[in-house]
A and B are shown apart, each in its own frame.
Chain A
């Protein structure tokens, strides 16, 4: 036998006895570690989100009112939901919320893309411009709401003051008092706050874009629009999906803006699902009904996020193939 061949011997005892059990744990250490590492996160989510949501679901099946604590024990099945489905105010708020999101997200995307392309074209001062763009991102939504309440104020707002001083109009425009204008105003505030998310991420996408495919497209005879449509846009789409996903995680923060700007008014013309939940739940103390609504809005938000997240994953895979 070869003299250099090592002689097999068990590990010395200072490393613990190697019994089948310890061996199992040692070998499965890598399988147990992630569970251990993730457990604080999962426990937090369980206690602060999952359990409350379950409680919320239960409450939505009762006629619970804060003023009558015993009413939480009465089970009424889907009555709250049925009432909501036959309630015109709810449907109006629901559809208005969808419309609000559809308009806001689309405008934010298009504007953000425009700004990103613009800044990408500019040869100097890019960093400064990008920093300025981050300005609205750090604003508290409640602050954005207040700020535009201040600006759109029909009496002392800078906007009306400016319009009147410039002679464009001689009467005060009731930005937050007229239903349609109020809706425009809250969408404007929302777009102002969130366009930067798109602009910054799309700009990062443009910065990361390799030159070769663009040059190849030029050689292949694409004009500027075709190049943009078939090369640039597909490349930056994953970045758009990140922005969409991030946005969809907290679309409901528009509640803060609306709460301070119009609080659903005038006459319910800017009532969104979220302001309605607050009104029914806290002002009218009808928790059962409010929880039913909250559940619907939660499902809506989750569906949004899920949709964009899967889009993001798909886009990522597709990008992976190109690299």
Chain B
């Protein structure tokens, strides 16, 4: 066999493997998204209908309560709750995380590594395990089934990881920049806002997206701490479909699309920084 042919075969093999892997990664998600636009009877058809004969928005109309056929699931409230809770908890977590990350990146203090590890370990408590005592305490504090109750929990869920990421981003900015600004006449506070913050901005945005996704996607805690349209989020709402006798696959798929689209857009916007944040934060400690 000629060398050239061997090389080409290898390249082809490489491509085929990659292609198969990518198909496995994409197809399940795409199939769900596609099914969101198909009528239920086509999904349930036997023998299966492979090529969609009809694409429709009726599933969305249905779950949003438009059109003739309605489902008694208040998706709009869920969407609103999810947005408010995820946005608010992300914003608070970012502020707390920026302060904490800056402290870890810029100051020397005793037991620094131990503090850092301690924060991380708090994050490791399984959601469902944490939900038990939080459920009991929140009942006493009247925080069950409130947006506030979930926001508080999500802030604490996001703070450690946000600190980790933001610490990494601040470390990439040479300390001498802030020092130069201070020599140039800034207070430390001014130096932070005029120099360090603008430079870390994209990284902080990435951390924000991570926090948003965590809150947006969280289920274990939300499923126990929410009850009604006052605070139920989309992931919890998704279970409404299965609670019914027959599963409304088309409706669930449509709802899945609603959950995935904001996450998708946000991730693509900052994907470069996400990777950089994860690796720099970790390796260049």
A20 interface residue (CB < 8 Å to B): no
Q: With A37-B100, A294-B128 known to touch, is A312 a contact of B137 (CB < 8 Å)?
A: no
Question: Given the complex, which residues of A lie within 8 Å of B190, measured CB to CB?
Answer: none
Distance between B109 CB and nearest chain A CB, rounded to angstroms: 5
A133 and B18 form a contact (CB under 8 A): no
Q: Contacts A49-B130, A147-B29, A282-B224 given: A259-B122 contact, CB under 8 Å?
A: no
Q: Find out whether the CB atom of B155 lies under 8 angstroms from the CB atom of A142.
A: no
B71-130 interface with A by 8 A CB criterion: 95-97, 99-100, 102-104, 107, 109, 113, 115, 117, 119-130
Contact A150/B35 with A41-B119, A44-B155 known, Cβ cut-off 8 Å: yes
Whether B249 lies near A277 (C-beta < 8 A) is no
Q: How far is the CA of A242 from the CA of B278 in the complex (A)?
A: 8
Residues of B within 8 A of A291 (CB): 132-133
Q: Which of B48, B124, B268 contacts A301 (CB 8 A)?
A: B124
Alpha-carbon distance between A202 and B256 when the two chains are bound, in angstroms: 30
Interface-centre pick from B15, B107, B122, B126 (highest chain A CB count, 10 A): B126
Number of A-B contacts (CB under 8 A): 277
Whether A309 pairs with B120 at a CB distance below 8 angstroms is yes
Alpha-carbon separation in the docked complex, A51 to B26 (Å) = 42
Decide: B96 and A41 in contact? CB cutoff 8 A: yes
Give the residue of B102, B123, B218, B285 whose beta carbon is less than 8 angstroms from that of A37: B102
A239 and B125 contacting across the interface, CB-CB below 8 Å: no
Q: How far apart sit A298 and B122, CA to CA, in the bound complex (Å)?
A: 9
Complex interface bits, A296-320 against B, C-beta within 8 A gives 1, otherwise 0 = 0110011011100100110010010
The answer on a CB contact under 8 Å between A253 and B103 is no
Q: Is B25 an interface residue (CB 8 A)?
A: yes
Most buried by B among A34, A129, A260: A34
A34 touches B282 (CB 8 A): no
A positions within 8 Å CB-CB of B: 30-31, 33-35, 37-38, 40-41, 44-45, 47-53, 55-56, 59, 115, 118-119, 121-122, 129-143, 146-148, 150-151, 155-156, 158, 161, 165, 192, 196, 200-201, 204-205, 208, 238-239, 241-242, 245-246, 248-253, 255-256, 259-260, 274, 277-278, 281-282, 287, 290-291, 293-295, 297-298, 301-302, 304-306, 309, 312-313, 316, 319
